[in-house]
Amino acid sequence: MKLQLALDRLTQEKCFALIQETAEVVDIVEIGTGVIKEYGMAIVRDIHKQFPDKSLFVDMKTCDAGRHEAYQAFEAGASYVTAMAFAADQTIQDMLLVAKEFEGEIVIDLLNCSDPARVRALYELGARHFCLHIGKDMQSKGDTSVLSHIDLVDGLDGVTIYIAGGINLERAHYLDATRIDVAIVGSGITANNTPRIEAQAIRSVLMSKS
Tens of pLDDT, residue by residue over 138-172, are 544 444 565 657 899 999 999 999 999 889 999 99
Topology at the third CATH level for domain 2-208: TIM Barrel (3.20.20)
The string of DSSP letters for 55-100 reads EEEEEEEE-S-HHHHHHHHHHHT-SEEEEETTS-HHHHHHHHHHHH
| C-alpha pair distances (Å), 129 with each of 13, 38, 81, 137, 208 | 30, 26, 10, 24, 23
Tens of pLDDT, residue by residue over 101-118, are 999 999 999 999 999 999
Q: What is the pLDDT of residue 141?
A: 44
Q: What is the pLDDT of residue 134?
A: 75
| pLDDT band at residue 59 using 50, 70 and 90 as cut-offs | very high
Tens of pLDDT, residue by residue over 64-84, are 999 999 999 999 999 999 999
pLDDT of residue 177 exceeding 90, the answer is no
